[in-house]
Structure 1
Amino acid sequence: MELTGEQLKEAETQLKRYLPRSQQVYGFLMLRNRVRSDPVKIFVDSWPEFKVIVCKPQIEQESDLFKDIFFFAKDETILEETLRNPSVIDWNRYLCLGFDYRHRDLFEAVASEKDAPSKQLSVCHMMTLEDVSNLPFIDSSGISLSSLDESHVGLVNQMWKFGNNDGAFRMLRDMITHFPSCCVLDAEAKPVAWILVYSKCAMGVLYTLPEHRGKGYAKVLISTMSKRLHAEGYPVYCFIEEENTLSYSLFKSLGFTENPSYRAGWFEFNY
């Protein structure tokens, strides 16, 4: 069944009990229940007690490659039934699915049965700042901070490792338009470093233009965004790709910690 209205708020409350494994869906519902964004349908296997919850974005164009369907499951048997339900997952079209990496074998097995070739996009550590007071003091004097606006989408899309395409452009525009962002401005009021917030409330797309690196901008941005999210009642966390040891060390140095029991995976099917 699809959740609406007050059910979405109740689901948010329930998901909090299952952190960190429920963090993606929990963070998504926290933002969705407070901020307007692109339309998404939320499905559960039953209500009010549910074993599986699915967040399914509305796909408007075939190039919407970054609108991932993502899941939280308390019961893998029910998750398997959900994956086989054609009204929930259409295995005949392109899919980008995000899930707890421990379910990888199940997703790949069902995809194989459906003749849907799969490709791993990324596997990430989830790092959380449990206490904002753990942030070290970072001197931001002399640094001009602001928020990004729609005129900056093209620049961010061009520099993002997954960007420089129409699907990423639309996703980044939605993020910049609706969710918190922070950037460092140069003397001409142009962004030279930035950080955004994904629809799951995770910080990401952290980037500094090459000619402005080595000035500590990333630490300033992470610290500033962390304090803002905390002040507004949101979880403070991010996903770091397993091979990105530099970013892992950066966030760890700022007080973020990883729960090794959880990893997040994103896979393409019918790519």
Structure 2
Amino acid sequence: MEQLNEERLKIAETQLKDLFPQSMQVYGYIFQKNRAKDDQVHVLVDRWPDFNVVICQPVNQGESHFIEMCVFTKDEAILRNILEETNMIEWSNFFCLGTSLCHGEVVVAAAWERKVAGNKVAVCHMMTLQDPSRLPPVDSIIESKISSLDETHADLVNKTWKFGMSESSLGKIRNMIRHYPSCCVLNAENQQPIAWILTYPSCAIGMLYTLPEHRGKGLARALVNSMSRRLYAEGFPVYCFIEEGNTMSHSLFTSLGFTEDPQYREAWFNFNSL
């Protein structure tokens, strides 16, 4: 595997656009890296320039870090060989890996060969917004309360995130707030967030949450709307992952013009050495 330098990352970004939706997540990582000069993620390919496999993985891989990586491939046999025959992935760490659902069995089988337990934690539909100009206007009163999260809000987000509540996830959220776009609605009395949405290192928007006592007021809808406009204006791909069975979120994003490819689903797996 070869780590891409700055020049090749720009070329890879262009190439991956022709391979949507399967390549969207690795494209998002590279998009961010090309603009934010993010040194926290390495992008590796099996060969250059005609790559078949792309792996995005964090630079720091220790117990104190929330290790999350993603894999894209055009050739499952080559992916299998890389996972089984090379040490590109540090299997001894606990980590989360995202890839196309159709490649899930190959990834899990490779883990078991190395005596690493793997379990599927989520299967999601990927939804994209192609035309933000059709978004409805944001309620002016809510819009006046929209701001960005700061690092002092990380603990609150961590406590409400499905995969949060640990020191490693807190570090991940703090890093997202520090480096990537976020939106929140602030309580007028204490200026604390009552609803929020963040951007992952892959450019996907997520962690959408409204405190229970403030639901039913259209805050989530306003945040998705505002964030989508902001990202689109800055040239970002506008997309998200909706977990299967989450009909409420699916309906929300659909009502705002997000669409999905019914043939494509993304899966996330947790791995931990036995």
After TM superposition, the score normalised by the length of structure 1 is: 0.95
Aligned counterparts of 1:163 and 1:92: Cα–Cα separation in 2: 21
Aligned counterparts of 1:58 and 1:128: Cα–Cα separation in 2: 28
1:245 is aligned, of 244, 247, 258, to 247
Q: What stretches of structure 1 move > 6 A for 4+ residues in a row?
A: none
Aligned pairs, how many?
Answer: 270
8 Å contact from structure 2 (residues 62, 93) kept in 1: no
Aligned counterparts of 1:126 and 1:158: Cα–Cα separation in 2: 25
Identical columns (%): 51
Aligned counterparts of 2:151 and 2:251: Cα–Cα separation in 1: 31
Report the equivalent of 2:13: 12
Report the equivalent of 1:131: 131
Question: Which digits, 9 at most, give the CA deviation of each residue in 1:23-62, with x for residues without a partner?
Answer: 0000111111111445121111111111111111123431
Aligned counterparts of 2:106 and 2:26: Cα–Cα separation in 1: 19
Aligned counterparts of 2:193 and 2:92: Cα–Cα separation in 1: 41
Report the equivalent of 1:211: 213
Given the alignment of the two structures, is residue 3 of structure 1 paired with residue 12 of structure 2, yes or no?
no
Aligned counterparts of 1:92 and 1:178: Cα–Cα separation in 2: 28
Q: 1:181 to 1:93 in 2, by over 3 A?
A: closer
Deviation at 1:16, TM superposition (A): 0.6
Question: Which digits, 9 at most, give the CA deviation of each residue in 1:51-107, with x for residues without a partner?
Answer: 111111123431423x21211101111111211243302333323211111101211
- Opposite residue 59 of structure 2, the aligned amino acid is Q
Aligned counterparts of 1:64 and 1:195: Cα–Cα separation in 2: 22
Greater shift after overlay, 148-157 or 221-230? 148-157
Gaps spanning 5+ residues in structure 1: where? none
- Opposite residue 119 of structure 2, the aligned amino acid is K
Greater shift after overlay, 142-151 or 5-14? 142-151
Gaps spanning 5+ residues in structure 2: where? none
SS at match of 2:123: strand
Aligned counterparts of 2:20 and 2:181: Cα–Cα separation in 1: 23
8 Å contact from structure 1 (residues 31, 199) kept in 2: yes
- Opposite residue 132 of structure 2, the aligned amino acid is V
Aligned counterparts of 1:124 and 1:193: Cα–Cα separation in 2: 22
Report the equivalent of 1:220: 222
Aligned counterparts of 2:88 and 2:225: Cα–Cα separation in 1: 39
SS at match of 2:36: coil
RMSD, aligned CA: 1.5
Question: Which digits, 9 at most, give the CA deviation of each residue in 1:154-207, with x for residues without a partner?
Answer: 111122221121011000011000100011011122111111000000000101
Q: 1:68 to 1:85 in 2, by over 3 A?
A: farther
The correspondence of residues 78-227 of structure 1 with structure 2, limited to 5 A, is 78-142=78-142, 143-187=144-188, 188-227=190-229
Aligned counterparts of 2:150 and 2:9: Cα–Cα separation in 1: 29
- Opposite residue 58 of structure 2, the aligned amino acid is P
